[in-house]
A and B are shown apart, each in its own frame.
Chain A
Amino acid sequence: MKYLATFIVLFVVYLFLAGFTVYELILGGIVSAALTVILVKYVNFSIDWQFPIKLVKFIFIYLPVFIWKLLLANLDVAKRVLSPKIPLNPGIVKIKTNLQGDFGKLALANSITLTPGTLSIDVEGDSLYIHTVDVKGKNEEENRERISEPFEKILGGIFK
């Protein structure tokens, strides 16, 4: 299945860059297959039969939330930057996550970086260290609820 995953990634990238003509389909298939044989030993992700379901979930459940949060984050940045005295109460907080896989943690950390007022600095085991512009929560639980809970729920259903 590692071969299949590598092949699909390479083939999709090739087609998106080259276009969807018959010649490109054939040539892309050959090139992707050749590259798959070379690259597969550096690849550490795999797919299973649930992959299409996960992809649909990712696109239709996760992405709208993510884009909405990204818009909110930018409005937040705009508000802070344009106010005469910048309102700040910064701190680095630690947050536990239940996600196990590397891809889940990557998606969670990236989502946290692009949501309002937070920046993930480091991931270590199952804890993330996050810089927030405004520390509101008194303890770890409150911070967790405020920062990572909405994404954790969605990503938990996709990446486990």
Chain B
Amino acid sequence: MLIASYVFLVIGGLFFLLGGLGILRMPDTFNRIQAGTKATTLGSFSILIGVAFANPSWIFKIIIIIVFIVISNPIGSSAIAKATYRSNHIPTNLVQDDLAKRGEEHDTN
């Protein structure tokens, strides 16, 4: 049981490391958000599953935590991305930008 727990904890840590590395290495905000969101979501899952293996009586609390993370993490990243776009920190390397084409009348709300 403890061996499985350690394996999941190490995998989770590895994904967090990759996420951090992604945030450092990616060239613009949106790609940094992408790397951060995905790696931290799966990293959290993995670490929580590792904790569940180490202490099986916490399994229901861990399910609740996983549900909250999987709902709130993408919403948070989407909010950050939207704020980035609204504040005109638009990366210059975009090959296509449909958000710019949606017309002025929507930008006011």
B85 touching A121, Cβ below 8 Å: yes
Q: How far is the CA of A117 from the CA of B34 in the complex (A)?
A: 7
A17 touching B61, Cβ below 8 Å: yes
B22 touching A91, Cβ below 8 Å: no
The reply to whether the CB of A36 lies closer than 8 angstroms to some CB of chain B is no
Which residues of the other chain, B, contact A131 by a CB distance below 8 angstroms?
30, 34, 81
Q: Which stretch in A25-33, A44-52, A76-84, A145-153 binds the other chain? A: A76-84
B81 touching A119, Cβ below 8 Å: yes
Choose from A77, A89, A113 the contact partner of B74 (Cβ within 8 Å). A113
A135 touching B18, Cβ below 8 Å: no
Q: Do A74 and B21 contact each other (CB < 8 Å), given the known contacts A13-B64, A90-B91, A91-B96?
A: no
Choose from B34, B60, B75 the contact partner of A19 (Cβ within 8 Å). B60
B42 touching A122, Cβ below 8 Å: no
A77 touching B60, Cβ below 8 Å: no
A/B pair count, beta carbons within 8 Å: 121
B38 touching A74, Cβ below 8 Å: yes
Chain B residues with a Cβ closer than 8 Å to the other chain, count: 44
B94 touching A110, Cβ below 8 Å: no
Q: Indicate with 1 or 0, residue by residue over B53-74, a CB within 8 angstroms of chain A CB atoms.
A: 0000000110110000011001
For the residues of A in contact with B, the DSSP-based class is: mixed
A16 touching B39, Cβ below 8 Å: no
B37 touching A114, Cβ below 8 Å: yes
Q: How far is the CA of A124 from the CA of B109 in the complex (A)?
A: 11
Q: Do A77 and B78 contact each other (CB < 8 Å), given the known contacts A16-B61, A93-B96?
A: no
Q: How far is the CA of A110 from the CA of B82 in the complex (A)?
A: 14
The 8 closest A-B pairs by CB, nearest first: A91-B96, A113-B74, A94-B98, A16-B60, A110-B74, A81-B22, A121-B81, A91-B95
Listed by A's residue number, 24 A-B pairs whose Cβ atoms lie within 8 Å are A15-B60, A16-B60, A16-B61, A16-B64, A70-B41, A77-B35, A78-B18, A86-B27, A88-B27, A90-B28, A90-B95, A91-B96, A92-B96, A94-B101, A106-B75, A114-B38, A118-B34, A119-B81, A120-B78, A124-B102, A129-B98, A131-B30, A131-B81, A133-B31
Chain B interface (Cβ < 8 Å from any Cβ of A)? 15, 18-19, 21-22, 25-28, 30-31, 33-35, 37-39, 41-42, 60-61, 63-64, 70-71, 74-75, 77-78, 81-82, 85, 91, 93-102, 106
Chain A interface (Cβ < 8 Å from any Cβ of B)? 13, 15-17, 19-20, 70-71, 73-74, 77-78, 80-82, 86, 88-94, 106, 109-110, 113-114, 117-122, 124, 129, 131, 133, 135
